Structure 1
Amino acid sequence: MATTEKHHEASTPEPLSFFSQVFHPTGITSSVENYHYKGSGTMEDPYVVVWIDHDPRNPMNWSSKRRWIITMLVATALLAVAFDSSAYSAGGQLIIMEFGTVQIVFTLGVSLFVLGFAIGPLLWAPMSEMFGRQVMFAFTYGILTAFNGGAIASPNIQSLVILRFFAGAFGASPLTMAGGVIADMFPARERGLAMSMFSAAPFMGPVLGPIVGGFVGETVGWRWIMGVITIFTGVLWIALLIFLPETYAPVILRKRAEALSKKTGMVYKSRAQVEQGDTSIGELFKTSLSRPWVLLFKEPIVLLLSIYMSIIYGTLYGLFGAFPIVFQQVRGWSTGIGGLAFLGVMVGMFAAIAYNAWDNKRYVKINDESDGFAPPEARMPPAIVGAIAIPIGLIWFAWTNYPSIHWFACIAAGAPFGFGMVLVFVAIFNYLIDSYTIFAASVLAANTVMRSVVGAAFPLFIPYMYDGLGIHWATMIPGFLAVICVPFPFLFYKYGAQIRKKCKYAAESEAFIRRMQKEAEQGDDDGEKGEDDASFEDRDSSEGGEDVEKEKEENKERPSEATYIAYGPREVMLETEEAERLERLDAEARRNEGMEAREEVEEPLPGSDPAVVAAKKSGSLRRLDSNASVDTTGQPKFERIKSTRSRASSRGANGSGLVRVKTYESNPFDLDRVNTRESFVRVKSKKSLREEGSGDLRGRQ
């Protein structure tokens, strides 16, 4: 069957406006339509849609400004949900008096909301794979706002706590997808600060909730607390509708393939569709509901670190019950002023974000020295610092909450707790992702479910524990638990590599990373050996040398965007030895073709097929063998050259600088997706560049 080739232009693709990407996610331009896709455009051999070079619709190619705006938007959406979880607690006495209920029933409004966080990741992760992040954010956040609005008019405590549960379940979507959006846009080495903001948001929101809710409740009543929450989430819902484009690569490419098929009448499919077929929502749910539990109970790393994070998370939500007792009942503060006690925790969180930004330089250095494959244990040093800070803060708070001691000493104790909490969460999140690359989504889902269940339980027994043990020893209980867990980060930092080898899924993930590292090194060797073949790039023969040189200059200026090879969700490497073999055959065929062109007569032989001659001149055919086999008409036999990625897209200009970039379509925040090693950029060291001479460097500029 004849193979139709889709050629691409050498020039930079047409830019896309921001709003066109929001409302038209496929990003189809003439460059996209005319790109050189593999395949024949038939049902048996469809065109395989991947990112084009410098694709403006690829989230990894967006400007830093755009990426940070979107990061702030989704982080704020996550913060609003966390704010929702705790602001309700500020209206406790008002709700109890109006509905004539008891403390534990009122507390269900917090616990059931947080319990909804345990259900959300199991639902929204697989649905985001099927429909995309943009659609799921719009749907779930709209429903969240509706349930918050319904809570304003609740006629009784039963309807209020039920509405709170459903609000928590739908509000859990940012917990699942906000981190995925960040992973879609930032390579691993640049993701540290963005992940710090993402990880701090679930804690910053609960701290802000009692502060705002306290003043609103004592001023205009508890229903206005729910009103403020509804306004907050409603405004963010509108902002998400207007400013959040689709960032999940498999969905973008699938929709692009569908649009190209409809527009051209040919058959286009994304890489994921070609390699694994169309996955049903039932299959996704089956995996999302079963695998997290397998990993939680069969992997010691997941279990121990999830227990540790659950204790910290539960302690935070336990403070929502402890602070009103210490500051309002014991010290006699009002509801609004009592909420200000959480400012100490907030200060510690901001300090942790700054610390992570500073520590990220250390990680980037290790990552570069490891050729983009830093060991997971490199993530743990901040967790060691945080693990020490958490018990210090809790013990400090336990023995300074006497009424006779100045209030500032008690509030200041929240700073080391908030500082340590964010450091531990960011480090462990990244450690789990790096340790369980291909299973990262299931690991994070298991972690989220366990944290949410514990976080839902703590507020229910905290009041009784403080009544029975007193404000000092009741605070020491989570303090003692935090002390017991202090060795965990150091244990995994020191012996993590040995532990991972003994864990089935962690060992499998490590083997996956080693294969990628080996293939990346092989790619480097192939790039060095192929420097002499730079003139035989896979180009349309009609392209001029000027365009080639122009694209080379662009590749030197923007090496991080050299080329993005689209991978399927569950693939390791799709273009490996076979792709390299095809490239070498292609280059050899073009060299042979160049020699043949100088020997051939311009006029075709009598009886020759004009289509064959034209195809041969265009470079799409080559001889089957050096003996020039002939067909029944006496004409030489030719085979069509299989389409491959251009050499310029997998090598830097002149074979130097950037050698290879491999980007996964997927990421760890979705069901068994991996994006933790999505960019393997191999750049020559400064030493080797100096050896080439400053004159040579100026010449390439």
Structure 2
Amino acid sequence: MAGFEGEAPQASKIPYWRLVFDQKVVTDEVINHPYAGRGTDDDPFVVVWIPGDSRNPMNFSSILKWSLTILVSLTTLTIALISSAYSGGMAQVMKELGSSREVTTLGISLFVLGFAFGPLIWAPMSEVFGRRNVFTITFCLLTAFNAGCAGSENIQTLIILRFLAGFFGSSPFGNAGGSIADMFPAAKRGIAISLFSAAPLCGPAIGPIIGGFLGSGAGWRWVEGFLAIFSGVIWICLCVFLPETYAPVLLRRRAEKLSELSGKVYRSKLDIERGKLSLQQTLTTALSRPWRLLFREPIVFLFCIYMAIIYGILYLCFAAFPIVFQEARGWNEGIGGLAFLGILVGMIIGVIYTFPENMHYAKLCRQTTGRLPPEVRLPPSIVGAIALPIGLFWFAWTNSPSIHWMASIAAGAPFGFGLVLVFLSVFNYLIDAYTIYSASVLAANSALRSLFGAAFPLFTSYLYSGLGIHWASSIPAFLALACVPIPIVFYLYGARIRKRCPYAAEADAFMQRLAQSNQQEVRREEPVIEKPNAEVEAAAVDVESDSETTSLSSVPSAIDMSRRVSRASKMSGRSLGRMATQYEENPYDIDRVNTHTSTISGRGRCQEV
């Protein structure tokens, strides 16, 4: 966000407690700022961030930004840890509640199933109610359902409460990344997003270790009790320390406060640009577009299938490791949980590997005047894709009790390393390839991989009883091996494939047109209507029919952008004309990305608004 040009007075510092508890806080500088407009219904004052605005999350201090990044990353680590810690007490659950292994495993599967549907609801709700409100309410319910699990008297109650805990606890998967993107500009958020993205991958590897020792020492109820206490502590931290970071909600609240104080009409710049959407409209698009992209875009479909298989294999391990290490080797639950240390070490190495990769990418960005092709993001995924089957085959043929346990545990390192590289690299590729639709792409990815994560543990016991520990462990390895060509093919031919995919082509056309608009802004004092570039227009037209019918009037697309610029000299839109070309690539910004209609129409052509 940007305020007006020119020298500005130093903005007053807002006490931190007011940042957290008062979303409508205003200072004298905010009240007296010369907003564009006349303060009427037809020409409202346009509320923007003032220069040096201490309430703008982008202006938070580095210490505060990183502290909040750690806090929201802990929320994703927490929910991932809860998903797998249950496995440490499964043997006791079966014994005390008299359930079979397959039914008891539903406690993992249904929890992960909640991940498939929860983010589709919580992400758009954060647009309307703010990230802080969604965080605090859902984590409160997560804590309550975890406590309920600890007191469950039968397996039915336990697995139902586990599903509800997973559903409500899944809000950080969209909200945490969004909060980070709210605070860091695109060029500086690479490491922060890497830490956030790695947390839900490392959490499942830590969970069985904690759950195993707690389960063997204090019983499975204390496993669930500890999870309730842990999530409760995180909930309290969110309530006390997490301020609202979502700019559209903050500016909307500020406009409401200024209207109350002055009696005049103030409206958020973002609401004027995009239009204020209802929760129903937001949810409708958020629930439908991810599936549309998943099944109509080959890029999205293949990468989502690949990541879903890997994610499913990770959760298969929570059912397979007790068989391999506890039943075959005779280890107890606590020592058996340590078998996940190999995977955890590999994940940590993978996260460290991404740091120089991020710096290399930033260097490439500085050396070019345009946007780098998305395929530049894929080399780490190729390395990871090769490491995955190596680790899985290594584990499959060294997990016999006659072979030292260290060999099979060490096999987890290349698997964990490859998993992190593939996930982070492909995430970045999908974001860069789909920009304006990246929230929907990430939602589709999250939903599909959660479905696989829920399904894979259910057939693990049948797989191992029928094939034995060697060949049963080889099946996931063969699946990972079959997927190795996917990142290689897209690295070599991705640019050609994207041109044939309607949504990817439109996203590329949008970004090219935006770059041209930015160049015009640099060269000219007053913006003018930019004529469409034939090559760019060709990339976004002649696409397959799309049935989306949501209102086009609020789309911040490349096409209507030029019209907003042409209206800049008329009313309070004068300030918008200077800022409309600034598109900060926030992959979690549901308001901008996930709830606005594509310019792909039912007639299969990009339409002007």
TM norm. shorter chain > 0.5: yes
Q: Percent identity?
A: 56
SS at match of 2:592: coil
**Equivalence for 1:225:** 223
Q: Shift in Å at residue 666 of structure 1? A: 8.0
In the TM superposition, what whole-angstrom CA distance separates every residue of 1:96-129 from its partner, at most 9, and x where no partner exists? 1111111111011110000000110121111111
Q: Shift in Å at residue 192 of structure 1? A: 1.6
**Equivalence for 2:409:** 411
Q: Is the 8 A contact 2:375 2:495 kept in 1?
A: yes
Instruction: Mark the CA change 1:569 to 1:490 in structure 2 (over 3 Å): closer, same or farther.
Output: farther
Could you tell me which amino acid in structure 2 is paired with residue 353 of structure 1? V
**Equivalence for 2:598:** none
Looking at structure 2, the residues matched to 261 and 343 of structure 1 have their Cα atoms a distance apart, in angstroms, of 56
Q: Is the 8 A contact 2:8 2:51 kept in 1?
A: no
Q: Shift in Å at residue 523 of structure 1? A: 2.4
Q: Is the 8 A contact 1:126 1:670 kept in 2?
A: no
**Equivalence for 1:571:** 556
Moved more, 199-208 or 132-141: 199-208
Correspondence 1:473 to 2:471: yes
Q: Shift in Å at residue 486 of structure 1? A: 0.8
Looking at structure 2, the residues matched to 144 and 156 of structure 1 have their Cα atoms a distance apart, in angstroms, of 20
**Equivalence for 1:88:** 86
Correspondence 1:110 to 2:108: yes
Q: Is the 8 A contact 1:36 1:643 kept in 2?
A: no
Correspondence 1:671 to 2:590: yes
Could you tell me which amino acid in structure 2 is paired with residue 396 of structure 1? W
Instruction: Mark the CA change 1:488 to 1:264 in structure 2 (over 3 Å): closer, same or farther.
Output: same
Residue number among 506, 516, 519 corresponding to 1:518 in the alignment: 516
Instruction: Mark the CA change 1:661 to 1:411 in structure 2 (over 3 Å): closer, same or farther.
Output: farther
Q: Is the 8 A contact 1:440 1:672 kept in 2?
A: no
SS at match of 2:267: strand
Q: Is the 8 A contact 2:309 2:452 kept in 1?
A: yes
Q: Shift in Å at residue 18 of structure 1? A: 2.4
Q: Is the 8 A contact 2:38 2:45 kept in 1?
A: yes
Q: Is the 8 A contact 1:344 1:411 kept in 2?
A: yes
Instruction: Mark the CA change 1:468 to 1:517 in structure 2 (over 3 Å): closer, same or farther.
Output: same
Residue number among 217, 229, 237 corresponding to 2:235 in the alignment: 237
**Equivalence for 1:457:** 455
Looking at structure 2, the residues matched to 98 and 332 of structure 1 have their Cα atoms a distance apart, in angstroms, of 20
SS at match of 1:68: helix
Looking at structure 2, the residues matched to 575 and 268 of structure 1 have their Cα atoms a distance apart, in angstroms, of 23
**Equivalence for 1:247:** 245
Q: Shift in Å at residue 642 of structure 1? A: 7.1
SS at match of 2:277: coil
Looking at structure 2, the residues matched to 476 and 439 of structure 1 have their Cα atoms a distance apart, in angstroms, of 37
Could you tell me which amino acid in structure 2 is paired with residue 494 of structure 1? L
Instruction: Mark the CA change 1:527 to 1:382 in structure 2 (over 3 Å): closer, same or farther.
Output: farther
**Equivalence for 1:119:** 117
Q: Is the 8 A contact 1:391 1:483 kept in 2?
A: yes
Could you tell me which amino acid in structure 1 is paired with residue 218 of structure 2? V
Correspondence 1:143 to 2:141: yes
Looking at structure 2, the residues matched to 262 and 373 of structure 1 have their Cα atoms a distance apart, in angstroms, of 43
Q: Is the 8 A contact 1:438 1:672 kept in 2?
A: no
**Equivalence for 1:492:** 490
Correspondence 1:41 to 2:39: yes
Q: Shift in Å at residue 526 of structure 1? A: 2.9
Q: Is the 8 A contact 2:97 2:155 kept in 1?
A: yes
**Equivalence for 1:183:** 181
| Stretches of structure 1 lacking an aligned partner (at least 5 in a row) | 1-5, 530-567, 584-639, 651-659, 676-701
Residue number among 286, 296, 299 corresponding to 2:294 in the alignment: 296
In the TM superposition, what whole-angstrom CA distance separates every residue of 1:346-403 from its partner, at most 9, and x where no partner exists? 1111111111111111111222233362221121111111111111110111111122
**Equivalence for 2:547:** none
Could you tell me which amino acid in structure 2 is paired with residue 168 of structure 1? G
After the TM superposition, which residues 367-446 of structure 1 pair with which residues of structure 2 at under 5 Å, given as runs? 367-371=365-369, 373-446=371-444
Could you tell me which amino acid in structure 2 is paired with residue 126 of structure 1? P
Instruction: Mark the CA change 1:8 to 1:517 in structure 2 (over 3 Å): closer, same or farther.
Output: closer
Looking at structure 2, the residues matched to 188 and 272 of structure 1 have their Cα atoms a distance apart, in angstroms, of 19
Q: Shift in Å at residue 17 of structure 1? A: 2.7
After the TM superposition, which residues 260-299 of structure 1 pair with which residues of structure 2 at under 5 Å, given as runs? 260-299=258-297
SS at match of 1:41: coil
SS at match of 1:48: strand
Looking at structure 2, the residues matched to 443 and 643 of structure 1 have their Cα atoms a distance apart, in angstroms, of 32
Could you tell me which amino acid in structure 1 is paired with residue 297 of structure 2? E
SS at match of 1:673: helix
Instruction: Mark the CA change 1:642 to 1:466 in structure 2 (over 3 Å): closer, same or farther.
Output: closer
Looking at structure 2, the residues matched to 337 and 220 of structure 1 have their Cα atoms a distance apart, in angstroms, of 15
Instruction: Mark the CA change 1:337 to 1:646 in structure 2 (over 3 Å): closer, same or farther.
Output: closer
SS at match of 2:46: strand
**Equivalence for 1:615:** none
SS at match of 1:436: helix
**Equivalence for 2:167:** 169
Looking at structure 1, the residues matched to 593 and 372 of structure 2 have their Cα atoms a distance apart, in angstroms, of 16
Looking at structure 1, the residues matched to 36 and 445 of structure 2 have their Cα atoms a distance apart, in angstroms, of 40
Q: Is the 8 A contact 2:35 2:46 kept in 1?
A: yes
Q: Is the 8 A contact 1:516 1:572 kept in 2?
A: no
Q: Is the 8 A contact 1:314 1:451 kept in 2?
A: yes
Could you tell me which amino acid in structure 2 is paired with residue 304 of structure 1? L
Could you tell me which amino acid in structure 2 is paired with residue 270 of structure 1? S
Q: Shift in Å at residue 219 of structure 1? A: 0.7
Q: Is the 8 A contact 2:175 2:588 kept in 1?
A: yes
Instruction: Mark the CA change 1:354 to 1:661 in structure 2 (over 3 Å): closer, same or farther.
Output: farther
SS at match of 1:510: helix
Q: Shift in Å at residue 519 of structure 1? A: 1.4
Q: Is the 8 A contact 1:49 1:268 kept in 2?
A: yes
Looking at structure 2, the residues matched to 8 and 362 of structure 1 have their Cα atoms a distance apart, in angstroms, of 34
Larger Rg: 1
Q: Shift in Å at residue 54 of structure 1? A: 2.1
Q: Is the 8 A contact 2:43 2:572 kept in 1?
A: no
Instruction: Mark the CA change 1:643 to 1:570 in structure 2 (over 3 Å): closer, same or farther.
Output: closer
Looking at structure 1, the residues matched to 342 and 592 of structure 2 have their Cα atoms a distance apart, in angstroms, of 38
Residue number among 188, 198, 201 corresponding to 1:200 in the alignment: 198
Could you tell me which amino acid in structure 2 is paired with residue 89 of structure 1? S
* Alignment RMSD: 2.5
Looking at structure 2, the residues matched to 14 and 481 of structure 1 have their Cα atoms a distance apart, in angstroms, of 58
